[in-house]
Amino acid sequence: MTAACAIATRELRSFFRVPAGWVIVALYLFLTGIVFGLGTLQPGAPATLRDFFSASGLLLMGIAPAISMRLFSEELRSGTAEALLTAPVGDLAVVLGKYLGGALFLVVLLAPTLVYPLILALVSDPRPDPGPIGAGYLALLLLGLYFLAVGTLASALTNNQTLAYLGAMLALVVLTLVTGQAAERAPAPISQWLIALSVTRRMNDFAKGVIDLAHVVFLLSLAAWFLTLAHAALDSRRWR
């Protein structure tokens, strides 16, 4: 665990050593600021951040792969992956360390948006219900962790950052469509199975302020599954 924490710290710092990390943060805050300013701060509008959370969920589908695309692809491209794989550190620690570094960057990305509920509370009467706001931020964090895990797998499969980004994006879009619109048109047994795997429907519950432990476990399990696949991909490279 110490090795994973060291790798995570190094990875977090690396995001701010390149312009891409600052661009990701600035772009996300700029777009969510527009949504908050034009969609939420409207006279007579309900004091809710539902528009912000909906927009952030969509933005994370593009931003999370941008965070994760360089986790392993850059190491594989530059050749430093060989030194990492031959170091006295297990593959699991490497995967967890890289992933935790991306997760910490995600937390840094979301942290400045905490000013939005404070502004909303100051200008609205009655003040917004803290329950849905807390549930919304938890949903964003869990959704981001799931997206990052998919991106980590994509990054472990190729040494090309562009391919890693596009692969993660395509996988997330396909998974969302298959468990969403496609599930409604599928035959009954398959439809019920796909709907049970739908992330979007679980996000709707969070948007209502409902924190269901089953939803939390489901999203964390999804992330763990894709990280397991990333570990297997990295282990196969070690054997090769």
User: Could you say which residues of the chain have pLDDT below 50?
Assistant: none
pLDDT of 236: 75
CA pair distance 235, 196, nearest whole angstrom: 31
pLDDT of 237: 67
The C-alpha torsion from 160 through 103 and 227 to 54, rounded to 10°, is: -90
**Predicted TM-score of the model (pTM):** 0.90
pLDDT of 225: 93
Quick: pLDDT tens for 42-79: 776 677 888 888 888 889 999 999 999 888 887 777 66
Query: What token pair was written down for 86?
Result: 């031959």
Half-sphere exposure of 137 (CA within 13 A, CB side): 15
> 3-state DSSP call for residue 128?
coil
pLDDT of 167: 92
pLDDT of 105: 93
pLDDT of 239: 59
